[in-house]
Structure 1
């Protein structure tokens, strides 16, 4: 029986030193999504306008509508505790997860792992084309963390099926 991976994604204030998480979302085993904006801490000042161009989230919106880091960390632990959660951007997402949990003075109760750990060579061979097809099929108009997680999860599922057929 196939075990569908839980996939998480972070959006951030940029990619440089000092960047911080502004949104986190995941797609759970049955495809149900969860997403929230993160209110910046007072010392989280880095802001890259190119990031705004990608996710269309203004800093003012984060301050007004974002949830406090301790609330976000507690919710993630409640929903993901004890699980391994996968990301395609492990190097960046690990830093943003750590920044979130450090600010909240909490520890993650789940393991963050690189999606590549569970992608076979056969899956990798068809990954890019399949991901493009998933994006087209979903026709999502907003670049959000939970949408990105769902795209990755569905790409994994479709390539997993394809890898079984290609024997």
Structure 2
């Protein structure tokens, strides 16, 4: 079985002015990768509550983050052949991804779709309990983009197996 490619984005906050700070992918083969994003000068919004969740400081982004254009190019390189990735928070993730590509001066070579489009009614009913069980079993580090993307992928896989 080929697993769907899952994309997850951590951000500076949730409201107006927020921007992507980490983008992670769980590939069809189950491998995971993630990149921190160096904030642009005009990206000033910072929500301390969001930082408490993901544990990534703005100083760390400035030190270790990759330029916006490089992250956009990486996403296109990763996803152009399959043409699609899925997100469980499509409304937020699509907005942040669009912002990233806009500031990179590029167009995405793939579509981001809502994960729920792949799920059957049975999968949706089992989703929360299954996800919580995987978190407990594997001690998943939450609110980091790569780990969250893989958690979604594992949850998808296990909900299929019922």
Residue aligned with 1:86, SS = strand
Once the two structures are TM-superposed, the CA of residue 143 in structure 1 deviates from its matched residue by 3.1
The equivalent residue for 1:35 is 34
Residue aligned with 2:9, SS = strand
TM-score (norm 2): 0.97
CA distance in 2 between counterparts of 1:129 and 1:34 reads 26
Provide structure 1 residue ranges, at least 5 long, that are not aligned to the other structure. Answer: 163-167
The equivalent residue for 2:46 is 47
Once the two structures are TM-superposed, the CA of residue 130 in structure 1 deviates from its matched residue by 0.3
CA distance in 1 between counterparts of 2:66 and 2:38 reads 5
CA distance in 1 between counterparts of 2:34 and 2:140 reads 15
The equivalent residue for 2:160 is 160
TM-score (norm 1): 0.94
Provide structure 2 residue ranges, at least 5 long, that are not aligned to the other structure. Answer: none
CA distance in 2 between counterparts of 1:18 and 1:143 reads 20
Residue aligned with 2:161, SS = helix
Q: What aligned pairs does 1:6-155 form with structure 2 within 5 A after superposition?
A: 6-82=5-81, 83-141=83-141, 143-155=143-155
RMSD: 0.9
Alpha-carbon contact 2:141-2:147 (below 8 Å) kept = no
Larger radius of gyration: 1
Alpha-carbon contact 2:140-2:151 (below 8 Å) kept = no
CA distance in 1 between counterparts of 2:87 and 2:143 reads 16
Moved segments of 4+, more than 2 Å: 140-143
